Structure 1
Amino acid sequence: MTQFSIVVPTLNESENIDLLLTRIFALDFASDSFEIIVVDDGSADGTQDKVRNWANQSSVRLIERREAPDLTASILTGVAAAKNDVIVVMDADLSHPPEQLRALVAPILENSHDVVVGSRYIAGGSTENWPLYRQFLSRVGGWIARPICDVNDVTSGFFAFRRSLAKNISSHAHGYKILLELLMANQGRIRVTEIPICFRDRTHGTSKLSLFHQQAYIQRLITLAGGTATLNTAGRFAAVGLLGVLIDAFVFHWMISREAGLALSHFVSFFIAATVNYTFNSKWAFREHHEGYLRWHQFGRFLTVGALALLLRGGVLAFLVYVWHVPPLLAIFPAIVTTAAVNYLGSAFYVFPNKKTPPSLEIRWRTAAIGIVLFAVLLRLVYFGLAQLIPDEAYYWQYAQHMDLSFYDHPPAVAWLIWLGTSVLGHNEFGVRIGALLCGLITMGYLYALAQNLYDKSTAMRTLLLLVILPLGFATGLLMIPDAPLFAAWAATLYYMERALVAHQNTAWLGMGVAFGLGLLSKYSLGLLGIAALVFVIIDPVARRWMKRPHPYLAALLALLLFSPAIIWNYQNDWISFAFQSNRVLADDYKFAVHLFILHIIVLLTPIGFLAAIYALFFIKPSESRCFEHRRHLFVQVFTGAPVLVCFILSTFDAPRFHWTAPIWLALLPTIAWMIVHTDQLSPLFKRIQSAWRLTIIACIFGYAFVLHYVVLGIPGIPYHLLTEHYFWRETAAEIEQIAAEVRNQTDKEPIIVGMSKWSVASALYFYTHGDTKLDIRSRNMFGGSGAMYEFWFPSQNPTDRPIIQVGMKRRHLESVWTDNDVEEMLDQPGAIEYRVIERHGVPVRRVYYRVSQGFKGIN
């Protein structure tokens, strides 16, 4: 009784078919254990006659198709005629080794898997005698399919599967990669494995692969992902886009010529062009996917995509005009072109998606994750070198100007990264922030790996989506503050801890030691993961075995060694940094702030994320009979719950900092991402709450783009007063330089600039005057107030007759008293508090307050 059927599609394979069948029948199989079905697509070289000769003496059947040649159709025809439940597909050109047939069908016959793929791209797999361009095309074809398909060699033509799975393949399937159709049609419902094979290029005959097949493959891949992008729609979209470009450029030029301003001009021109584009795209470019009348939800989606493209192109426009000094009338054209892809892909996948054969919910979320993550990364790339530094970043840049083993209020990792970035890229925002961008990518990589280990690939992709759209993740990938390297180290430590404590990998302890040590060099709060690890080991009996092995202790020793620069610095400075951080945690003044603690979490996670976190921590009940699920859930609970509990306790007697709990939620993000799709295990009420994720995602990514456009180019109709205190330091520094020049001319003495804040004003002014006029800039510690690291850099100031220019963000900052003595008593002939209006491109943006004194008497 036969066990499996081999389907071999042919087209002009007369030179190969005899040898292929000979090799198959020479295998150690019973003669009646398989059948061979050759499906010919109209060969003209005698292939059919040779197969007929075999059919007369063995279990070989020939099926002659009369339709247009199509590999997928040929294989499905053979499957329909097969007698067996197990089907093997292989080419006739001898590129697939028949000797691997037993390994290919065994997992299915043993009922351990449903699909087995002969793979060139796993350990043990290889290709021989293939031209480099063919290898490249094959690799690219597999790579672009990986986001939506969980197989390394999705373009393989050698695979086995259960016959019943073929009925789920779409009637629209065509082309030469039926494996992709099979996997996508049954994704989430089948068990798939890959075995290594050696693929040898044909020695007889010619390849049937052409440019048309490559295009068909990409087109089908897009369709399976839920998109409607085709060569036809792309061409029509391009034609409509060209009309839109002309309208866009004409309106922009007209408004610029009337001095409407860069932001207003590009806003108005874009929306006029977008309205025209929607009309023509819905009626022509994507007419197959439009109902024929205006659908407001569809138009709303078009406006959403258009608004995101608009806000992105604002950054491109600002870069060309303000950095490269390209005239606006020319800069608008590359700005339009660079964001056209956003409009097209957004239209193809979101505005006019594939509704004829819609993909599964898993695939739709994967596609959304890819698009949104790429957009978020692109948004950072465009803007992070344009947006001015916030005072915190300028302060940490000051660290890099006074390099040391550690610092008073933070460990040294942030300083080292800024020093490296500015050494390579120069003194600019891009150089300062490049470390944040790299740390953000590292965080994404480790968190993706963690989520995939805990759940699956789909959950890992949604985890990245949550990371880039939640406030806790987007900011740390953009701003160069200690939280940027902390997030990278936190994600890496979680990954290695899961590998060590849950997966029992010995080598993971080495990675954990490195990640933990580097994390402590970023921020001391990473020590909370050490507490969580101890709790997990105590609770989990399996992990408790590590207490008797040397690996955890060696990892701790390695972490301590990497952390030694901070220890050495503290030893040299009377442990002042450790004492400072302890005082911040154990404040003398009692202040109940649990409500602030909860509010901060809601902001960091968004309201829907906050509710999801509560549900994930307290209401998900894993199966007790499944050990891995139980331990996985325990890992997530402990590595989130233990640090949160510590912060909660602290908030009962001290006000927490806004961002303290941000990295803690990295451990929980995979579970929250898993819940988005697996709603069948949630309560009915929470199922309805989960539907709010789509709106949350759109609102968040739009909000980030809006804010970045606002701070770089402005938003028409919205004033800049929201940023009166903490932004526009480049323009403020120029004004302070002007004030200093006036004082210098009046007194013939070099003034001392004193920023009347702990470190914000002094650091921001110093960054934006560094390299030009070397001003003598100090912090308020000059008058006895706290100045953090300024107390080390400028520990004291003797009395002087040099003019003093106090600078503050508000009037009251110049009137405040931080010591037992009034600041005015320390000044010689203090003048009145004045202010100047700071303008940016002719638009008032903020005020800066200052006071000039004739000298400094010293601290009494």
Structure 2
Amino acid sequence: MIRFSVVIPTLNEANNIDSLLACLFAVDLPPGSFEVIFVDDGSLDGTPEKIRAWEGRANVRLIERKSRPDLQASILAGVAVARSDVVVAMAANLSYPSEQLPAIVAPVLDGSYDVAIGSRYASGGSTEGGPLHRRWLSRIGNWLARLIFDVDDVTSEFFAFRRELASTIAGQGQENKILLELLMAGLGKLKVVEVPIHFRGRKRGISELPFSHPWSYLQRLMTLAGGSVTTGTANRFAATTLLCVIIDAGLFQLLMSSGTGLALAHMMSFLAAAMVNYTLDSKWSFWLRHPRPLRWHQTGRFLMVGGMALLIRGGVLALLIHGWHVPPILAIFPAIATTAAINYLGAAFYVFPAKQNSCSSDIRWRVASIGIVVLIILLRLIYVGEGQLIPDEAYYWNYAQHMDLSFYDHPPMVAWLIWLGTAIAGNNEFGVRIGAFVSGLVTMGYLYALARNLYDKSTGMRTVLLLAILPFSFATGMLMTADAPVIAAWAATLYYMERALIAGRSSAWLGMGIAFGLGLLSKYTLGLLGIAALLFVILDPTARRWMRRPHPYLAAMLALLLFSPVIIWNMEHQWASLSFQSSRIKGVGDDQFSTHLLFLNLLVLLTPVGLLAAVLALLPHDGHDKSQSARRRRLFVWVFTGTPLAIFFVLSMFDSLRFHWTAPLWLAVLPSIAWMMGATGDLRGITRSLQAAWKPTIAICIFLYALILHYAVLGIPGVPYPTYLNHYFWREATGEVEKIVEEVQHQSGQKPLVVGMSKWPIASSLSFYNRKEPMDIRSRNMFGDSGAMYQFWYPSEPPTTRPIILVSIEKKHLECDRWGNDITRMLDRPGPIESLLILRENKPLRWVYYRVAHGYLGIIHHGC
């Protein structure tokens, strides 16, 4: 009795037929339990004759196709004549191990699974031999497919399946993608198992894989994912793009040559080209896929995609022209290429997508997550080196210029990352911020793994999407402050805590000790996770057993060892840093009620939709799932979100809080929010409303980020910079201060002392952007005021006859300090307060105020 059929497509495989069949009929299976069906696609090397020679002595049949060679069509032709309900598809090139046939077909024969795949990339599988480029193409193709399918080897040519499944893919797809089509047709319904195999590269014969296969595979993968991606649409879009390039580049060059600013020139040329592009795309490029009049929502989506492309290309132009000094006439072409890629993918997946029923909601969320996360990473990467440093970043850069074991107001991790980044990339914005960029990627990786462990892969991908678009995490992935490494360490600590406390992995305690120690080196706030972990162990009976084992205590000792540089520095400096941080807690009782401000801060950090979703996610949301695993998962989310939040809430009742302090604590609840985004079934009305609200929220957030970055780097024509940006644009302001220094030095014959009249922002920003002769820069602590780390770097300044230049962003700071002390009494013959308007391309940016004195008399306290 035939239990299964082996279908083998062939094309010029004469040299392999005898060896293949000898191996197949030598496997440990009952005689006559399977048949072998060869489907030949017009071989010219005698392959059919070789097969016929076996027909009389074994259960072998031959089918000869006369149509164009097509691997998928060949397999389906063999399936159509199979005499069993289980089919095994197998390549004829001897690359797949015939001895593994019983292991691959068994899970389908016994009904445990619908599909069993001989996998090269599953745990235990391997590849050997074959051209290197083919092996890399295979790995890349499978990696891309794994973003959609939960299968490691979707391009395998050795797999078993139930025959009835072939009807779901008949007439779909093309050429070499039958397993891809099979999995897509039954996505979410099929039970699939991967059996690890050892793959050997072809020894005899020539591969018939066409050069167009990679593009064909990628095109089909994107089509299955819901995109209107075909060769026809791509060719028509390319033709329209060529016309738009001529319009765009020509108008851009014309405007630039007439003296128009970069921002206005590239926006005007883009808008002219975009109108032509949209008209042609809607009427021609995508018309065959969408032969109907345009709807308002499509126009809105086009405007959204076009706006994003415009704002990102502004960053590309700034990077090429200002950063790499490429002439504008050449820089416009890579910028246009970036625009074209965003427009095409945006049109294919967002403006003119394939029919909504072509893929499930889960797949659409996965595709959206991939596209948006890639877009956010691209946005960060383009602008990370073009936006000027905010004063906080410049201050931490000064940390790196005075490297130490720790610092007064923060642990040393931020300084170490800046030191490493600037050592590699130089003392520029990119070098300062590359650590934040990498920290953002680390956060994404760990939080994806956490969400996948708590829920599933799709939830993990949506979690990374949330991490990319929510304000609290977008900013920390770009700005090099202490929050960037602490959020990465927080995510890593949560991951290892889940592995240790819920999954029961003893090895996770090592990772937790390292992550916790590195987090404490980033910011003391991470210590709140230690309190949460202790509370979880107390509340959870299963985790409570760790109290009797050495692993948690060894992890704590490892974290303390990593934290030892901070302890040593504090010992050497009279515990200055720990005293400073504890003084913030001692501030409780100052009657500075700020709970209402905490709520407003959360609205900004999470967006209103995100905050409402976080509240809802902290409520029971597993429906009727009353299992122990669901209960422990809920407890994990509640404890590791609620404990830090409760502490901040209590503090806000007695003291003021910085708006970004609560940012890391939301990492623990993001997986639950992401699960709710994709939940189906009987949902509460508010949950369905939130699911609908996420789409506009995501779109608005992305657009606002791009708009803000473009505004900060290139500006928006006709939109002036507001006065609250007086802490920004220190690159241009420092250039003007350098001119004042040169003039004073020329007049006096002495190098002046430049004093930034703020705690540290002005002095730090001037130090970073000082590109000419190094200035001698101090902070306001030389007048007896607080200067944070400047108190350690420059603890005192003796009286001097050197000229003093005071620089401030407010006039009043050039007369009195914050306590009302008259600083002019400490100056020798101070001059009048002067104002200086800072310009860029003849456009006003901000005001800077300064005054010059003939010398410094020392600290004298007198009221104003």
Shorter-normalised TM-score: what interval?
A: over 0.9
Q: Quick check: 75-84 or 271-280, which moved more?
A: 75-84
1:81 deviation in Å? Answer: 4.0
Mapped pair 1:514 → 2:518: no
C-alpha distance in 1 between matches for 2:4 and 2:407: 70
C-alpha distance in 1 between matches for 2:333 and 2:590: 59
1:701 deviation in Å? Answer: 1.2
Corresponding residue for residue 477 of structure 2: 477
C-alpha distance in 2 between matches for 1:780 and 1:355: 64
What is the TM-score with the length of structure 1 in the denominator? Answer: 0.95
Q: Go from structure 1 to structure 2 and tell me whether the alpha carbon gap of 1:687 and 1:821 turns closer, same or farther (over 3 Å shift).
A: same
Corresponding residue for residue 90 of structure 1: 90
C-alpha distance in 2 between matches for 1:89 and 1:726: 66
Corresponding residue for residue 654 of structure 2: 653
5 Å-filtered alignment, 1:368-379, equals 368-379=368-379
1:853 deviation in Å? Answer: 2.9
Contact 2:723 2:846 in 1 (8 A): no
Corresponding residue for residue 694 of structure 1: 695
Query: Could you report, residue by residue, the CA deviation over 1:698-739 in whole angstroms, capped at 9, with x for unpaired residues?
Result: 111111111111111111111012553111101111222222
C-alpha distance in 2 between matches for 1:327 and 1:140: 36
Equivalent position amino acid for 1:27 in 2: V
Q: Go from structure 1 to structure 2 and tell me whether the alpha carbon gap of 1:705 and 1:295 turns closer, same or farther (over 3 Å shift).
A: same
Query: Could you report, residue by residue, the CA deviation over 1:822-859 in whole angstroms, capped at 9, with x for unpaired residues?
Result: 32333333333331111112111100112233333322
Q: Post-superposition, which runs of at least 4 consecutive aligned residues in structure 1 deviate over 6 A?
A: none
Corresponding residue for residue 272 of structure 2: 272
C-alpha distance in 2 between matches for 1:328 and 1:28: 70
1:275 deviation in Å? Answer: 0.5
Q: Quick check: 641-650 or 513-522, which moved more?
A: 641-650
5 Å-filtered alignment, 1:427-438, equals 427-438=427-438
C-alpha distance in 1 between matches for 2:176 and 2:226: 20
Corresponding residue for residue 772 of structure 2: 772
Contact 1:447 1:491 in 2 (8 A): yes
1:679 deviation in Å? Answer: 3.5
Query: Could you report, residue by residue, the CA deviation over 1:53-72 in whole angstroms, capped at 9, with x for unpaired residues?
Result: 65566655554545433221
5 Å-filtered alignment, 1:217-228, equals 217-228=217-228
Query: Could you report, residue by residue, the CA deviation over 1:156-210 in whole angstroms, capped at 9, with x for unpaired residues?
Result: 0111223343343363222112111111222222332211112234445443322
1:407 deviation in Å? Answer: 0.6
Q: Go from structure 1 to structure 2 and tell me whether the alpha carbon gap of 1:800 and 1:45 turns closer, same or farther (over 3 Å shift).
A: closer
C-alpha distance in 2 between matches for 1:356 and 1:490: 38
Equivalent position amino acid for 2:316 in 1: V
Corresponding residue for residue 561 of structure 1: 561
5 Å-filtered alignment, 1:179-578, equals 179-355=179-355, 358-578=358-578
Corresponding residue for residue 627 of structure 2: 626
5 Å-filtered alignment, 1:46-85, equals 47-48=47-48, 59-85=59-85
Corresponding residue for residue 28 of structure 1: 28
Aligned length: 859
Contact 1:622 1:633 in 2 (8 A): no
Q: Quick check: 224-233 or 107-116, which moved more?
A: 107-116
Equivalent position amino acid for 1:636 in 2: V
Q: Quick check: 561-570 or 167-176, which moved more?
A: 167-176
SS at match of 1:618: coil
Q: Quick check: 743-752 or 514-523, which moved more?
A: 743-752
Contact 1:5 1:35 in 2 (8 A): yes
Equivalent position amino acid for 2:344 in 1: Y
C-alpha distance in 2 between matches for 1:3 and 1:784: 91
Equivalent position amino acid for 1:730 in 2: R
1:5 deviation in Å? Answer: 3.2
CA RMSD in angstroms, aligned pairs only: 2.3
C-alpha distance in 1 between matches for 2:773 and 2:174: 68
Q: Go from structure 1 to structure 2 and tell me whether the alpha carbon gap of 1:55 and 1:623 turns closer, same or farther (over 3 Å shift).
A: farther
Q: Quick check: 345-354 or 743-752, which moved more?
A: 743-752
Query: Could you report, residue by residue, the CA deviation over 1:478-504 in whole angstroms, capped at 9, with x for unpaired residues?
Result: 111011111111111111111111222
C-alpha distance in 2 between matches for 1:25 and 1:722: 83
C-alpha distance in 2 between matches for 1:425 and 1:552: 39
Q: Quick check: 36-45 or 307-316, which moved more?
A: 36-45
Contact 2:827 2:857 in 1 (8 A): yes
C-alpha distance in 2 between matches for 1:831 and 1:659: 40
Q: Quick check: 487-496 or 197-206, which moved more?
A: 197-206
Query: Could you report, residue by residue, the CA deviation over 1:504-535 in whole angstroms, capped at 9, with x for unpaired residues?
Result: 22221111111111110000001111111111
Corresponding residue for residue 845 of structure 1: 845
Q: Go from structure 1 to structure 2 and tell me whether the alpha carbon gap of 1:686 and 1:125 turns closer, same or farther (over 3 Å shift).
A: closer
Contact 2:421 2:432 in 1 (8 A): yes
Q: Go from structure 1 to structure 2 and tell me whether the alpha carbon gap of 1:196 and 1:276 turns closer, same or farther (over 3 Å shift).
A: same
Equivalent position amino acid for 1:665 in 2: W
SS at match of 1:680: coil
C-alpha distance in 1 between matches for 2:306 and 2:549: 58
SS at match of 1:7: strand
Equivalent position amino acid for 2:430 in 1: F
Mapped pair 1:668 → 2:669: yes
Query: Could you report, residue by residue, the CA deviation over 1:721-761 in whole angstroms, capped at 9, with x for unpaired residues?
Result: 25531111011112222223333344444332222211111
SS at match of 1:761: helix
C-alpha distance in 1 between matches for 2:793 and 2:140: 54
1:94 deviation in Å? Answer: 2.9
Q: Go from structure 1 to structure 2 and tell me whether the alpha carbon gap of 1:157 and 1:782 turns closer, same or farther (over 3 Å shift).
A: same
1:340 deviation in Å? Answer: 2.3
C-alpha distance in 2 between matches for 1:112 and 1:781: 74
1:327 deviation in Å? Answer: 3.4
SS at match of 1:847: strand
Corresponding residue for residue 637 of structure 1: 638
SS at match of 1:8: strand
1:321 deviation in Å? Answer: 2.3
C-alpha distance in 1 between matches for 2:426 and 2:44: 67
5 Å-filtered alignment, 1:1-20, equals 2-20=2-20
Contact 2:622 2:630 in 1 (8 A): no
Equivalent position amino acid for 2:8 in 1: V
C-alpha distance in 2 between matches for 1:140 and 1:533: 39
C-alpha distance in 2 between matches for 1:817 and 1:213: 71
1:568 deviation in Å? Answer: 0.6
C-alpha distance in 2 between matches for 1:772 and 1:204: 68
SS at match of 1:837: strand
1:398 deviation in Å? Answer: 0.9
Corresponding residue for residue 106 of structure 2: 106
C-alpha distance in 2 between matches for 1:184 and 1:195: 19
Contact 1:496 1:509 in 2 (8 A): yes
Query: Could you report, residue by residue, the CA deviation over 1:635-655 in whole angstroms, capped at 9, with x for unpaired residues?
Result: 222211211111111111112
1:393 deviation in Å? Answer: 0.4
Gaps of 5+ in 1: none
1:388 deviation in Å? Answer: 0.8
Equivalent position amino acid for 2:579 in 1: A
Corresponding residue for residue 832 of structure 1: 832
Identity %: 61
Q: Quick check: 747-756 or 656-665, which moved more?
A: 747-756
C-alpha distance in 2 between matches for 1:208 and 1:743: 77
Q: Go from structure 1 to structure 2 and tell me whether the alpha carbon gap of 1:722 and 1:702 turns closer, same or farther (over 3 Å shift).
A: farther
Contact 1:757 1:780 in 2 (8 A): yes
Equivalent position amino acid for 1:728 in 2: F
Gaps of 5+ in 2: none
Equivalent position amino acid for 2:457 in 1: K
Query: Could you report, residue by residue, the CA deviation over 1:314-364 in whole angstroms, capped at 9, with x for unpaired residues?
Result: 112122322333333343233223332222222222222222862222222
Corresponding residue for residue 724 of structure 1: 725
C-alpha distance in 2 between matches for 1:817 and 1:841: 34
Corresponding residue for residue 742 of structure 1: 743
C-alpha distance in 2 between matches for 1:335 and 1:394: 30
C-alpha distance in 1 between matches for 2:165 and 2:538: 46
SS at match of 1:287: coil
SS at match of 1:289: coil
Equivalent position amino acid for 1:643 in 2: P
C-alpha distance in 2 between matches for 1:296 and 1:573: 65
SS at match of 1:850: strand
Q: Quick check: 208-217 or 497-506, which moved more?
A: 208-217
C-alpha distance in 1 between matches for 2:799 and 2:71: 89
